[in-house]
Amino acid sequence: MTSNSRNSIPLLLVLALGSCGQPDSAVTSADEADLVLRNGKVLTIDADFSIHDTVVVNAGRIVATGDSSLAERYRSDNVVDLQGKVLMPGFIDSHTHIRGRPQRYIELSEVTSIAEIQELIGAKIEEIGEGEWITGYGWSEDELGEGRRPLRPDLDAIAPNNPVILTRAGGHSAVVNSLALDLADVTLATPQPDGGVIERGQDGQLNGIIRERQEIVGRLVPDSTYSELIASLEVNLNALLAKGITSITDASKRPSEYAMWEELYGTAELPLPRSALQFQWFDPVAINALKEQVGDGDDFLKIGPIKVFADGGFTGPAAYTLEPYVNQGEYRGYLNMPEAELVAHLNEIHDAGWQMGIHAIGDAAIVLVVNTLADALERNPRDDHRHFLNHFSMRPPELTMELMAEHDIHITQQPNFTYTLEGRYAENLDGWRLQHNNPLRSPMDHGITVAISSDILPIGPMVGIYAAVTRRGMSGTVYGPDEAISMEEALRAYTATGAFLNFEEEVKGSLETGKFADMIVLSEDILSIDPDRIMEVTVEQTYVNGKLVYSAE
């Protein structure tokens, strides 16, 4: 197309626009745009949840959203017909864990049988050879067809000549094979380690499960090399784009890890999502120095809030609860550090001016953290601190939620836990506490800002959205339907609210003029789909900065 013929059409358009009172910024020609997506169901997730037809992108940013007339007003060599499909902001996973993995590592978070674990081990032996250590993470007996944990004989059957250690989802136990036990000198005569258990089966033999102290074997695994870790980090971050995740907050990093991320973001060949890294306060000097050095970060990599662990989780279980667990005497879990230390820790970080994202799962941990933050904010008020609780897996007393609303203490929560951790909750909680696990409706109704995130259990957003809307566990059981939220609320919590928790609501989280063109196309209309089928919705295309970075085709 020549520039002449390009210019001839818009002249008519300008006249037409003039006659209906539209802005006349297009004086003599259509504006040029890098990308126009038209004929879609565009969920902008703006304040009014407006739904449009067309989005126009230029230089990585959204320049307009609106009806089909935009497709005439803006000229582009790259016009995409969405054929009525949903286009929405990319998901913002405000609590996840992404890392580079060594070549010996097997990802187990999506396996559904022990037989599949054996197949993956067999394939890994083919890849790296006999004698090499094999590691893995993420299995859970709740998701295995056999309905039990993988045990030493299962691993020995496929890996007699490779030491194997596979850590359970949550990280509180691992299964190892006979060769790994031999190399670590762990036998029936080995005394039980402090704070951990070397399990025996009913036959009296070691069954390969080690709880809490799996490093008695894991310490033997050779260190990974920098080059294999950075290469795998690139692959693992890139893989998020296929899930529609265009931004993450990685919830547990050390300042020393920043260099690898910075190098990766400077050199990556694969497209990557935007990342914010959350550090623990082990080394305030290093964290403050890093902040000094990188400032607020660029649009793709920045330092996030400080991570604090108040208590544990429901594996163990170790969440700190107000009332005892079911069938465990007076046991109520525990804090991750003595209470006075935790209170001092939270005050120190608050006073240092940092935002905090605080792991609090049990209701007693939530109450303590909220009371501490409220006191800190009264003693030392800070505008727009945006402290938030992560997980919020048990519903705390009303007074606690009122305090949260009053002091703008927010939440990022994983409703997908209601689905995947159903077995854990049912084992340890009962009655009202079980029904109100991972509450969403009640904190939102109290006026608390709630984001949804995955904590990689699993990593894809559709499980969390499904559980947020249906309140169903893996078995199909519905828990506390009064805690369900609408699809519109769930989508906002997984996009715009995540941006807010990172102080980035001006640049992402919704499809509005001036924001990054981070967008996804869904396979089905998630607003009208039968809720039972939400997990079947897939991401067909992902755009970051207006560039197509993933296509299912």
Residue closer to Zn ion (CB basis): 163 or 273:
273
Q: Which pair of tokens denotes residue 216?
A: 């008695």
User: Residue 42 or residue 467: which is nearer to Zn ion going by CB?
Assistant: 467
- 82 vs 97: CA distance, rounded Å: 32
Q: State in angstroms the smallest separation of the CB of 455 from Zn ion.
A: 4
Least Cβ distance, residue 391 to Zn ion (angstroms): 8
Interface region with Zn ion, contact rule CB under 5 A, candidates 9-17, 61-69, 73-81, 450-458: 450-458
Find the binding residues for Zn ion in span 45-64 (CB under 5 A).
none
Of the candidate spans 75-83, 104-112, 245-253, 339-347, the one that interacts with Zn ion by CB under 5 A turns out to be 245-253
> For Zn ion, which stretch binds (CB under 5 A), given 24-32, 223-231, 248-256, 412-420?
248-256
Positions of E strands within 177-280: 197-200, 206-211, 245-253, 274-280
3-state DSSP of 92-140? EEEEECCCCCCCCEEECCCCCCHHHHHHHHHHHHHHHCCCCCEEEEEEC
Shortest distance (Å) from residue 50 CB to Zn ion: 33
Please report how close the Cβ of residue 171 comes to Zn ion at its closest, in angstroms: 10
Q: Which amino acid belongs to residue 471? A: R
- Name the residue nearer to Zn ion (CB basis): 69 or 252: 252
Q: Which is nearer to Zn ion, 150 or 415 (CB)?
A: 415
Distance of CA 214 to the CA centre of its chain: 26
Toward Zn ion, which CB reaches closer, 251 or 451? 251
**Candidates 12-20, 225-233, 287-295, 454-462; binding stretch for Zn ion (CB under 5 A):** 454-462
Q: Which stretch binds Zn ion (CB under 5 A): 36-44, 146-154, 156-164, 452-460?
A: 452-460
CA distance 57 to 84: 18
- State in angstroms the smallest separation of the CB of 95 from Zn ion: 6
Tell me the longest C-alpha to C-alpha distance in the chain: 91
Query: Is the separation of the CB atoms in 313 and 170 below 8 Å?
Result: yes
Question: In whole angstroms, how close is the CB of 482 to Zn ion at the nearest point?
Answer: 27
DSSP state of 324: P
Judged by CB, which is closer to Zn ion: 251, or 346? Answer: 251
Q: Identify any residues that bridge with 176 across adjacent strands, giving them in sequence order.
A: 165
455 contacts Zn ion (rule: CB under 5 A): yes
> Residue 253 or 387: which CB sits closer to Zn ion?
253
Min CB(309)–Zn ion separation in Å: 10
- Which residue, 63 or 245, has its beta carbon nearer to Zn ion? 245
3-state secondary structure 333-390: CCECCCHHHHHHHHHHHHHCCCCEEEEECCHHHHHHHHHHHHHHHHHCCCCCCCCEEE
d(CA 368, CA 137): 32
Q: Is 250 in the site for Zn ion (CB under 5 A)?
A: no
**Among 32-40, 68-76, 378-386, 451-459, the segment contacting Zn ion (CB under 5 A):** 451-459
Q: Which residues contact 48 (CB under 8 A, 6 or more apart)?
A: none
- Tokens read off for 549: 């970075």
CB of 278 to Zn ion, least distance (A): 9
On whether the CB atoms of residues 485 and 441 are closer than 8 A, the answer is yes
Count of residues that bind Zn ion according to CB under 5 A? 2
End-to-end CA distance of the chain: 28
**486: three-class secondary structure by DSSP:** coil
Q: Choose one: 14-22, 157-165, 181-189, 455-463; the region binding Zn ion (CB under 5 A).
A: 455-463
Pick between residue 111 and residue 459 the one whose CB is nearest to Zn ion.
459
- The residue nearest Zn ion at its CB is 455
Footprint of Zn ion (CB under 5 A) = 251, 455
